[in-house]
């Protein structure tokens, strides 16, 4: 399916990539219903009921949806796959385009939205996502918006050297945890604590823009390291 949409689209957006789950409906770029729940697991059981709730609240039927939007990670291995598989199935069944955005870009967009109330100034922005292991997923952005480099997975010991200079703002669910680590406790970084988890409302607004079709990523999980899965011995040999 070719990803295409417009400002008049009815967009259903979902995110289950991390330790929260959310869903939102946007009509012509305006959010008409949404849900957000902090949860480390149970996305698969809760996602479809959550979608049904917001569609009812927005007085929108499935056949009214003209585009689906979903995050592709990085984040929870299971959560990313739950969101993607659900979005793929709905898009296929409804004949809708599927628009995909990575978690870094979405969180950076949420920070820029928050900047309307709390200006970020000329400082760079670093998005820190908890890998639920010893490493942290990181991507930094210039104050003007473009990324400063590719996303990386780095250990907490490496983090200080990976952050950009210039009193960066830190966002994401790993921001507060790593801010007091050795090498960071004396730095001039600042935490935008309101931006911790991906939010489907921002995702829905992004997917309603005409440029979303050009920015959309492939509908495949974005991993920065191999999943922590041990194959049975026979399967590993094959």
Residues 37-66 have pLDDT tens digits of 998 778 899 999 999 999 999 999 999 999
The enclosing domain of 173 has a CATH number of 3.30.420.40
Long-range contact pairs involving 180-188 (C-beta distance under 8 Å, separation at least 24): 181/156, 182/157, 183/157, 183/159, 184/159, 184/160, 187/160, 187/163
Residues 136-172 have pLDDT tens digits of 999 999 988 899 999 999 988 888 888 888 788 999 9
User: What is the tally of structural domains in the chain?
Assistant: 2
124 and 83 share one domain = no
On the CB side of 184, CA atoms within 13 Å amount to: 22
First to last CA, the chain: 33
CA pair distance 103, 44, nearest whole angstrom: 19
Query: Range of 146's domain?
Result: 120-191
The secondary element (H helix, E strand) that includes residue 40 is: none
204 and 86 share one domain = yes
Q: The pTM is what?
A: 0.89
For residue 220, is it within any domain? no
138 and 71 share one domain = no
Residues 170-218 have pLDDT tens digits of 999 999 888 777 667 656 788 898 999 999 999 999 999 999 999 999 9
22 and 83 share one domain = yes
CA pair distance 87, 14, nearest whole angstrom: 8
């Amino acid at each position: 399916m070719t990803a295409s949409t417009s400002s008049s689209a009815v967009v259903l957006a979902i995110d289950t990539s991390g330790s929260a789950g959310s869903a939102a409906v946007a009509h012509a770029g305006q959010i008409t219903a949404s849900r957000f729940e902090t949860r480390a697991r149970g996305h698969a059981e809760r996602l479809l009921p959550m979608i049904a709730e917001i569609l009812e609240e927005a007085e929108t039927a499935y056949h009214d949806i003209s585009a689906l939007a979903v995050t592709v990670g990085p984040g929870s291995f299971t959560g990313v796959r739950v969101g993607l598989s659900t979005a793929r199935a709905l898009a296929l069944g409804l004949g809708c385009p599927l628009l995909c955005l990575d978690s870094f870009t979405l969180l950076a967009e949420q920070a820029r939205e928050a900047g309307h109330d709390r200006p970020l100034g000329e400082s760079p922005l670093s998005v820190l996502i908890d890998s639920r292991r010893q490493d942290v997923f990181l991507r930094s952005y210039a104050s003007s918006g473009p990324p400063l480099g590719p996303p990386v997975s780095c250990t907490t010991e490496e983090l200080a050297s990976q952050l950009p200079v210039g009193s960066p703002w830190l966002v994401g669910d790993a921001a507060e945890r790593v801010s007091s680590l050795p090498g960071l406790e004396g730095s001039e970084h600042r935490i935008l604590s309101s931006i911790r988890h991906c939010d489907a409302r921002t995702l829905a607004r992004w997917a309603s823009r005409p440029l979303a079709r050009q920015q959309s990523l492939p509908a495949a999980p974005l991993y920065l390291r191999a999943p922590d899965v041990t194959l049975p011995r026979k399967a590993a040999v094959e």
